[in-house]
Amino acid sequence: MQSLAAEVVALEEKVLHVRSREIRLEKETARLKEGVQQAEQQLQSSRQDRASLQATIDMLQVCQLCPCKMFKLLGTQKRHSAGHH
């Protein structure tokens, strides 16, 4: 009878150990998921920044060809020099 009780106690200790490990893994999984979400947000922000920079580059390339277009793009008015367009 005593060996059966010892076996039950040993099994209960194993169950507690497994449950403890499971809880630790669940917490780690939650932290990892949060890290992935943050990385995805940073990636999205970087993509938006890149798109904005590319739009600026495109605008500057257009302006290099025709300076007066820059003023149209910026919504400002400037007198063009005589003979231009």
Q: Does 84 have pLDDT greater than 50? A: no
- Is the whole-model pTM more than 0.95? no
| Structural tokens at position 5 | 């009780």
Angle at 72 between CA 68 and CA 77, to 5 degrees: 80
Residues 6+ apart with CB under 8 A from 77: 71
Instruction: Determine the Cα–Cα distance for residues 27 and 75; give it in Å rounded to an integer.
Output: 53
Please provide residue 67's backbone torsions phi and psi, each rounded to the nearest 5 degrees.
-55, -30
What residue ranges do the domains of the chain occupy? 2-74
pLDDT tens per residue, range 6-39: 999 999 999 999 999 999 999 999 999 999 999 9
